């Protein structure tokens, strides 16, 4: 999985770009394309994984985006797998009503999903304006790893079933070379992120952002764009060759709390 977050401070109509390459087993079922669904009484955009019933990326009406990345540790550090695992794709659904980054963090930490039944994962959160947070579960419960202010430069998180440590270095260096430098020079975050996510490495196909292995591959590319007026999700499925698009009218938080949110149309 490869997730990038970028903001465009030069265009007021575009506040947040989140892109996600989903790496999965070739035998996994084709995901259902994104559409507007109701989770916990709140409208959200999400593709659906028919195997697990959840999702790896979700966006709500406030422009809050949540992504799940599997966490693959070295064998010596990995916890024993749960006997009856719960799908990690259910984690983002608990954040459907979060109007702010802080509220999303609070809801994630208060989730009633049993951590003992969840395999390790990272939960990435991004809010309009570029604020981000990362939460980590490595078998002993979910904790806040970091919460950052708005990023002036694009930001990357990545993982691999071969071991996260094997891809973080090479993908991170290429990201800095291709994306960060381009944005600093030209200010075009959208084009540079798109190019990075679609880059295959013929000499190391198992390590590139557009990944290929005999047993697994980058199965889809999903992008979320948050503007002042709308939240849009576009999903490209590699197996079917089809592109799907769905959108929500943007809402603005008037008051947000962990157990209730008032909102007004943006």
Q: What is the pLDDT of residues 148-202, one digit of tens each?
A: 876 667 889 999 999 999 999 999 999 999 887 776 676 667 788 899 999 999 9
Question: Checking DSSP bridges between strand 32-39 and strand 121-126, what pairing results, if any?
Answer: unpaired
Q: Which pLDDT band holds residue 237 (cuts at 50, 70, 90)?
A: very high
Q: Is the pLDDT of residue 266 over 90?
A: no
What are the structural domains, with CATH classification, of the chain?
A: 2-265 (3.60.60.10)
Between residues 184 and 219, the one the model is more confident about: 219
Q: Is the pLDDT of residue 78 over 50?
A: yes
Give the integer Cα–Cα distance in Å for 195 and 10: 20
Question: What residue has token string 């806040």?
Answer: 144
Give the integer Cα–Cα distance in Å for 159 and 264: 37
Give the integer Cα–Cα distance in Å for 17 and 147: 18
pTM for this structure?
A: 0.90
Q: Is the pLDDT of residue 11 over 70?
A: no
Q: Is the pLDDT of residue 130 over 70?
A: yes
Q: Is the pLDDT of residue 255 over 60?
A: no
What is the pLDDT, as a whole number, of residue 9? Answer: 56
**Exposed / middle / buried, residue 89 (Cβ in 10 Å: 0-12, 13-18, 19+):** buried
Give the integer Cα–Cα distance in Å for 69 and 23: 10
Q: Is the pLDDT of residue 244 over 80?
A: yes
Give the integer Cα–Cα distance in Å for 212 and 24: 10
Give the pLDDT mean for 239-257.
Answer: 81
Give the integer Cα–Cα distance in Å for 201 and 97: 39
Q: What is the pLDDT of residues 14-59, one digit of tens each?
A: 478 899 999 999 999 999 999 999 999 999 999 999 999 999 999 9
Per the prediction, the chain carries an average pLDDT of: 89
Of all residues in the chain, the percent with pLDDT exceeding 90 is 70
């Amino acid at each position: 999985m490869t997730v990038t977050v970028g903001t465009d401070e030069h265009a007021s109509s575009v506040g947040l770009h989140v892109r996600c390459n989903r790496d999965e087993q070739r035998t996994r079922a084709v995901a259902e394309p994104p559409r507007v669904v109701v989770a916990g009484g709140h409208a959200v955009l999400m593709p659906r994984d028919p195997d697990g019933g959840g999702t790896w990326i979700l966006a709500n009406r406030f422009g809050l985006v949540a992504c799940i990345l599997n966490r693959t540790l070295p064998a010596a550090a990995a916890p024993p797998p749960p006997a009856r695992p719960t799908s990690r794709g259910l984690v983002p659904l608990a954040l459907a009503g979060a109007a702010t980054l802080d509220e999303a963090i609070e809801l994630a930490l208060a989730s009633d999903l049993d951590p003992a039944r969840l395999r390790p994962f990272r939960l990435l959160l991004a809010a309009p304006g570029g604020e981000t947070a990362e939460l980590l579960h490595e078998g002993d419960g979910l904790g806040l790893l970091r919460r950052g202010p708005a990023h002036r430069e694009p930001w990357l998180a990545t993982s691999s079933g071969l071991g996260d440590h094997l891809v973080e270095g090479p993908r991170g260096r290429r990201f800095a070379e291709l994306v960060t430098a381009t944005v600093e020079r030209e200010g075009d975050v959208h084009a540079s992120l798109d190019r990075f996510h679609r880059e295959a490495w013929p000499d190391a196909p198992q390590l590139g952002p557009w990944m290929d292995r005999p047993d697994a591959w980058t199965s889809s590319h999903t992008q979320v764009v948050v503007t002042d007026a709308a939240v849009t999700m576009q999903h490209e499925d590699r197996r079917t060759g089809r592109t799907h698009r769905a959108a929500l009218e943007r809402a603005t938080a008037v008051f947000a709390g962990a157990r209730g949110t008032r909102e007004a149309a943006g």
